[in-house]
């Protein structure tokens, strides 16, 4: 059964604004014609501020993982030493990609739910001075931790010559990253998280200083060869047929982000995070992540008086509220709320109100209305400050 009233609050895919849906629903155009060129030439420069770079942001048709993989194949050769921070399922994926491409992978394992410390990265670099690149995850979606990637990149740059690659799939569009200022060399993202689009587009922002590494890299690659994307972009094109409907949608997403203003967009995510976390505290729901390490796009809760899966099931059945579960060893241990992209404080009030009803059904001990009141208070506090 397709239920149009479902409330999708998973950390990707996330809901798509109606105006973006309408924009995607346009007649097809030729991908080598003038209309497509106009579209690409409009989109390409407008993506740059979202990634905090003056470098090129390349658009690849593929899921977010294709952007991760492209960063690996374009800057490394077999046998290269790399450091990968693994603090959850997506850090682990980055490490797996690196292993697949025959790199010598030095994992920094961080307990799931915690953020990496910049000193750990520096220490690892000192142990392995030949490290070619450091791979980091900005928002580790599996736990809801936002890693200090800008600080980390600055430290890597200050103490080594390693490249810094950041997975921003579940943060870009919802949280600011100043790629150029912090020295991040490659920042990748995808369309279906905070970028308010369906799955299918991957973004690869490449710092100008990295192109010599990419150009000189002899590793064979074809679909994900960033050199062809850069070359084609000069003429407003892509090397292969792009997901044109998604590009139509992306143009509208850029309109929406610019209309609201990026700073406001990022603030809105902070407000949603604070509302959600304050509500959880008021509802006696243990948060997996500390305030300092918490992501502004996804919140993880580790319940101790009921089964996380039971709450997810009931919320879905009764209200169509769709939350995510845990991954790997956190499966069944946590549930995760996505508040990213096309999500607003009004949605937080709605899902907290629903969660309260489900908590009553589960016999959880709390004062009815306390969660909504705490979320309201967090919202009011923010807007009073403004």
Query: Which residues belong to the annotated binding site for substrate?
Result: 336
Q: Is 284 in the site for ligand PLP (CB under 6 A)?
A: no
Q: Is 92 in the site for ligand PLP (CB under 6 A)?
A: no
For the chain, the 3-state helix, strand and coil shares in percent, each to the nearest 5, are 45, 15, 40
Near ligand PLP by CB under 6 A, which window of 164-172, 209-217, 273-281, 309-317? 164-172
Q: Is 90 in the site for ligand PLP (CB under 6 A)?
A: yes
CA distance 67 to 297: 20
Q: Is 183 in the site for ligand PLP (CB under 6 A)?
A: no
Among 113, 190, 239, 249, binds ligand PLP (CB under 6 A): 190
Least distance (Å) between residue 202 CB and ligand PLP: 7
Least distance (Å) between residue 138 CB and ligand PLP: 7
Q: Which of residues 132-161 bind ligand PLP (CB under 6 A)?
A: 137, 139, 141
CA distance 322 to 213: 43
Q: Which of residues 208-237 bind ligand PLP (CB under 6 A)?
A: none
CB 50 within 8 A of CB 257: yes
Q: Is 65 in the site for ligand PLP (CB under 6 A)?
A: yes
Closest CA to 297 of 165, 152, 190: 190
Among 63, 245, 310, 350, binds ligand PLP (CB under 6 A): 63
Question: What is the size of the binding site for ligand PLP (CB under 6 A)?
Answer: 14
Q: Cβ closer to ligand PLP: 65 or 245?
A: 65
Q: Cβ closer to ligand PLP: 49 or 199?
A: 199
For 205, residues 6+ apart whose C-beta sits below 8 A from its C-beta are 47, 48, 51, 53, 55, 56, 57, 58, 179, 186, 187, 188, 189
Sheet holding 201-206, edge to edge: 56-61, 201-206, 186-190, 163-167, 133-137, 81-86, 104-109
Least distance (Å) between residue 190 CB and ligand PLP: 4
Q: Cβ closer to ligand PLP: 63 or 310?
A: 63
Q: Cβ closer to ligand PLP: 24 or 283?
A: 24
Please report which helix (H) or strand (E) contains residue 46, including its range.
helix 34-51
Q: Is 169 in the site for ligand PLP (CB under 6 A)?
A: yes
Q: Cβ closer to ligand PLP: 191 or 276?
A: 191
- Give binding residues as ranges: 336
Q: DSSP state, 327? A: -
Please state the separation of Cα 289 from the chain's center in Å.
Answer: 17
Q: Is 167 in the site for ligand PLP (CB under 6 A)?
A: yes
Q: Cβ closer to ligand PLP: 66 or 237?
A: 66
Closest CA to 147 of 105, 190, 88: 88
Q: Cβ closer to ligand PLP: 268 or 336?
A: 336
Q: DSSP state, 115? A: P
CB 260 within 8 A of CB 326: no
Among 52, 55, 64, 341, binds ligand PLP (CB under 6 A): 64
Near ligand PLP by CB under 6 A, which window of 95-103, 167-175, 248-256, 362-370? 167-175
Q: Cβ closer to ligand PLP: 11 or 303?
A: 11
Name 146's bridge partners.
139
CA distance 326 to 335: 6
Least distance (Å) between residue 348 CB and ligand PLP: 20
Least distance (Å) between residue 87 CB and ligand PLP: 11
For residue 237, the tally of other CB atoms under 10 A from its CB is: 18
Hey, what are 235's tokens?
């003429």
Q: Cβ closer to ligand PLP: 187 or 378?
A: 187
Least distance (Å) between residue 272 CB and ligand PLP: 17
Closest CA to 233 of 212, 247, 254, 218: 247
Hey, what are 364's tokens?
């959880």
Q: Which residues bind ligand PLP (CB under 6 A)?
A: 12, 63-65, 90, 137, 139, 141, 167, 169-170, 190, 193, 199
């Amino acid at each position: 059964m397709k239920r149009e009233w479902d409330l999708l609050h998973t950390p990707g895919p996330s809901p798509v604004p109606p105006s973006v849906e309408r924009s995607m629903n346009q007649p097809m155009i030729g991908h080598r014609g003038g209309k497509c060129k106009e579209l690409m030439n409009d989109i390409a420069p407008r993506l740059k501020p979202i990634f905090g770079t003056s470098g090129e942001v390349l658009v690849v048709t593929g899921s977010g993982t294709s952007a991760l993989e492209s960063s690996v194949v374009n800057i490394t050769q077999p046998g290269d030493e790399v450091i990968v921070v693994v603090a959850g399922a997506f850090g682990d994926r980055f490490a797996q990609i690196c292993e697949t491409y025959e790199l010598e992978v030095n994992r920094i394992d961080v307990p799931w739910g915690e953020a990496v410390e910049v000193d750990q990265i520096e220490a690892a670099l000192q142990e392995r001075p030949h490290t070619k690149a450091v791979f980091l995850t900005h928002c580790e979606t599996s736990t809801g931790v936002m890693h200090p990637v800008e600080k980390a990149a600055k430290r890597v740059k200050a103490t080594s010559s390693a490249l810094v690659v950041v997975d921003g799939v579940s943060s870009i569009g919802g949280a600011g990253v100043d790629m150029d200022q912090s020295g991040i060399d490659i920042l990748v993202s995808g369309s279906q998280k905070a970028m308010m689009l369906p799955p299918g587009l991957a973004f690869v922002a490449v710092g100008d200083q990295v192109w010599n590494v990419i150009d000189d890299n002899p590793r064979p690659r074809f679909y994900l060869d960033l050199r062809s994307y850069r070359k084609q972009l000069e003429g407003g094109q892509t090397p292969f047929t792009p997901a044109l409907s998604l590009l139509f949608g992306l143009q509208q997403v850029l309109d929406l982000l610019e209309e609201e203003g990026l700073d406001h967009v990022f603030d809105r995510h902070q407000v949603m995070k604070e509302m959600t976390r304050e509500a959880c505290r008021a509802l006696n729901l243990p948060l997996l992540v500390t305030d300092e390490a918490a992501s502004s796009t996804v919140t993880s809760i580790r319940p101790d008086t009921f089964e996380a899966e039971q709450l997810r099931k009931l919320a879905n059945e009764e209200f169509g509220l769709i939350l995510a579960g845990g991954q790997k060893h956190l499966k069944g241990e946590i549930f995760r709320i996505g508040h990213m992209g096309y999500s607003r404080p009004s949605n937080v009030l709605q899902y907290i109100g629903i969660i309260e009803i489900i908590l009553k059904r589960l016999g959880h001990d709390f004062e009815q209305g306390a969660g909504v009141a705490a979320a309201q208070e967090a919202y009011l506090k923010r807007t009073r400050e403004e």
